[in-house]
Amino acid sequence: MENLGIDSKLLIAQLINFGLFFFVFKKYLSKPFLKFIKSEKEGSEEREKLLLKAKSMDEKMVEKEKALLATMKKQSDAQIQEAKNAAAKIKVQLLEEAEKEINELKVRAKKQLVQEQTEMQKDAKQKINELSFMIVNSVLKEVLTTEMKKKISDSIISNSAKSITFDEN
């Protein structure tokens, strides 16, 4: 063995050393070490479980948030649509009212125009009437000679002979 470079004493000493180490390790260190490893392992598993749970909760929360967002979007879309419909309805109503008002104004204006036209025509006729009589009066005054006036006077008094009565002044 010496030829192979192995020192038997050293080997024995190392074996004893190993044996002592094994004995001490098994007797005093292995249990707490194993316990520590076990507790570490359990802790790790627990953390993993918690992590998984948290992940799952997170996913659930994300899903819930997504669902909530979707619901909110749906609701807001519905509200926007409802507002649009209401606005369209109000627009149509306002347009109808404006059209109705315009028509009423048109009718009223037309009526007023006709009335004013009638009044103007009546006024014009009366003015023409007055003017005609003024012209007749002035022409008669200018044109009639005394002889003609006498004839007219005779004619008036002869025609009125039966109906001549005195009126109170």
Partner 1 sequence: MKISSLMKEELKKHFLAKLKQRNDEVTIVSAYPLSSSEIEGIKKIVPDLKLSKINNEVDEKLIAGYIIRKGSKMIDLSLQQRLAKLQQLSHEAL
Q: In degrees rounded to 5, what are phi and psi of residue 5?
A: 90, 10
The DSSP call for residue 133 is: H
Is there binding between residue 117 and partner 1 (CB under 8 A)? no
Amino acid identity at 115: Q
Considering only residues 126 through 165, tell me which ones interact with partner 1, judged by CB under 8 A: 126, 129-130, 133, 136-137, 140-141, 144, 146, 148-150, 152-154, 156-158, 160-161, 164-165
Number of amino acids touching partner 1 (CB under 8 A): 29
The smaller minimum CB distance to partner 1, of residues 39 and 121, is found at 121
The smaller minimum CB distance to partner 1, of residues 30 and 126, is found at 126
* CA–CA gap between residue 30 and residue 36 (Å, rounded): 10
Q: Which residue has the tokens 């070490």?
A: 33
**Cβ of residue 116: shortest distance to partner 1, in angstroms?**
17
* CA–CA gap between residue 3 and residue 17 (Å, rounded): 24
Q: In degrees rounded to 5, what are phi and psi of residue 168?
A: -70, 135
Residue numbers at the binding site for partner 1 (CB under 8 A): 122, 125-126, 129-130, 133, 136-137, 140-141, 144, 146, 148-150, 152-154, 156-158, 160-161, 164-169
